[in-house]
Amino acid sequence: MSNRVVCREASHAGSWYTATGSQLNAQLEGWLSQVQTTKRPARAIIAPHAGYTYCGACAAFAYKQIDPSITRRVFILGPSHHVPLSRCALSPAEVYRTPLYDLRIDQKVYADLWKTGMFERMTLQTDEEEHSIEMQLPYTAKAMESHKDDFAIVPILVGALNESKEQDYGKLLSKYLADPSNLFVISSDFCHWGQRFRYTYYDETQGEIYRSIEHLDKMGMSIIEQLEPISFSNYLKKYRNTICGRHPIGVLLNAVEELKKNGIDMNCSFLNYAQSSQCRNWQDSSVSYAAGALIVH
C-alpha cells in the first residue's frame, strides 16, 4: 500500500483567481494594504467566495482582522453548491494546495469530528468541484504566512441543514470556537438577485433595485450582528434572501449561542459590503458580498 499523501488540487486557480503564486500574492497584498485592522483578533470571520476580481477587495476587510501569532487552527465552513447534502462532510484529503503554499488538514481534529458520527466523507471529486472552501484558502494562506508552519486547517462542507441540525453542529463546534487558538472562517456570499437566480424581491420604497437589495442584505447583516440564530432563521423565512452560506452562518450563530450560555461575551460586526454590479432593471443580476468579524471579549 502506498503512503502517498492525498492532496486536493487548487482546481479553481487559473479561472476564479490567478494560478501564479507571485501574482496572487501581490493581488492579496494590494487588497489587504487598503484595509485597517479594527476588529482584531477575530475569532470568526464571514467572507465571500466569488472570483477574486469580484470580491477580493471585500474579503480583505475580514482577513485583515486575523492574528496569525495566536492562530493554530483555521476551521473553514463552506456551503455545498453541487451535491445534495443533509449533514456536514469532511474531506478525504490531507493537504489542500494553493498557489502560495500547501495547507495541511488537522488530522487529530478530523478524527475527533469523525468519531461523533455526525459527518459524512465527501469524495475528492466533490471537494475539488466545490469552490466555497477553496476560495478562502489563498486568503487564509496569505493572512497566516508569517506562521505558515504553525497552523493547520479544518475544512467542513456544510449541507442544507434544518434548524435543529444547525443547533447540533453549533453545539459540537462551540468548544473549538471557545479556544483562542482557533479561527472560524464562514464562507458566504449574500443576495443572488435576478431571474437567473430565480430571486427578484424588490421593495420599491428603497428606490433603484440595487438599493432594495442593499437594504435587504443590510437588514440580514444587522440580524447576524445580534448573534441570535432564531432571528436569522425568521429573517430567511420571511424574505427568502438567497444567502448561499446561510447554513454555515446558522452553525456559527448556534455555536455562539452555546458560548453565551456560559457567560462568554462576544460581538459581531460587518466591515464591508459590495455588489458585483448595480441592478436597475429586471434583466440585470448581481451577487452581494459582505465581510464580518466576531470578537470574543
Mean of all residue pLDDT scores within the chain = 96
What is the pLDDT, as a whole number, of residue 2?
53
Whole-prediction pTM value?
A: 0.96
pLDDT-above-70 percentage for the chain: 99
pLDDT for the residue 82: 84
| Residue 138: its H or E element | helix 137-143
CB-based burial of residue 7 (10 Å sphere; 0-12 exposed, 13-18 middle, 19+ buried)?
middle
Instruction: Give the pLDDT mean for 54-67.
Output: 97
**Centroid of chain to Cα 53:** 17
- For the chain, the farthest-separated pair of C-alpha atoms sits apart, in whole angstroms, at 66
Question: Which grid cell sits at 67?
Answer: 492574528
Cβ burial, residue 218 (10 Å; 0-12/13-18/19+): middle
* pLDDT, tens digit, 9 for 90 and up, residues 128-183: 999 999 999 999 999 999 999 999 999 999 999 999 999 999 999 999 999 999 99
CA-to-CA separations, 54 to 27, 152, 179, 208, in angstroms, rounded: 13, 27, 33, 21
Mean predicted confidence (pLDDT) in 198-215? 97
Q: Where are the alpha helices (DSSP H) in 182-285?
A: 209-225, 229-239, 246-261
